[in-house]
Structure 1
Amino acid sequence: MNQLSIFLAAGGGKGGEMQLLMMGAIILVFWLFMIRPQAKKAKQQKQFINDMKKGDRVVTIAGIHGTINKINDDGTLELQTSPGSYLKIERSAISLEWSQQINKAAATTVTPTK
């Protein structure tokens, strides 16, 4: 029993260093694959919301399609869903991914005239 405790005490330093190294590696991987992409996506969303202008076709996070008619100073915008029909919504309710998809689809369906 006494020899076992001496053996564990002698090797305990290297095991602790290895655990610390593994913990650092786990934190690094977590940061690379989880935190960094989310921060990048949030930055893109914020830039998209700040760059919106009248006439842009957008989709809300609720799936409502429309065209921006007016951007208000209070963080809201007026969305025209059909001719003469307007909704007042928060700027943060606009989906970056869905708006990009709808605009990409519209750009590919437009054919050049001869």
Structure 2
Amino acid sequence: MEQLQAFILPIGLLVIFYFFAIRPQKKKEKEIKEMRSGLRVGDEVVTIGGIYGKIVKAKDDSLTLESGSAKTKLEVTRWAVGSVLNGSGDRNNSTDEKAE
């Protein structure tokens, strides 16, 4: 009986840790992956480096962003996009665009 009680506390802590740390992190990673895979030409994005730009060309793993008043073009990888300011990065908008 004492051996069983010795295992209950560590197992309980692992379960709590899973539900409060691991599970939310995996959910957030999945949402970011969906956002990055749903990027389309015309979306305004912010890179993880803080560069604001508009997508003018999209390839499999890279994007060409147009940034600034001089319309400077930058080529970045998809994983460099931190957030979408408008467009298909939002889960609801991406399903609407695919239906059109």
Q: Same fold (TM over 0.5)?
A: yes
- Cα shift at 1:53: 0.3
- Cα shift at 1:19: 1.6
Find 2:35's aligned residue among 48, 57, 60: 48
Q: Which runs of 4+ in 1 moved over 2 A?
A: none
Q: TM-score, normalised by structure 1?
A: 0.69
Q: Which residue of 2 aligns with 1:88?
A: 75
Paired residues, number: 85
**More contact order relative to length (CA 8 Å, sep ≥ 6):** 2
**Which has the larger share of helix?**
1
Say which one has the larger Rg.
Answer: 1
Identity %: 33
1:8-87 superposed matches below 5 A: 14-73=1-60, 75-82=61-68, 83-87=70-74
**RMSD of aligned C-alpha atoms?**
1.3
**Which has the larger share of strand?**
2
Segments of structure 2 that go 5 or more residues without pairing to the other structure are 87-100
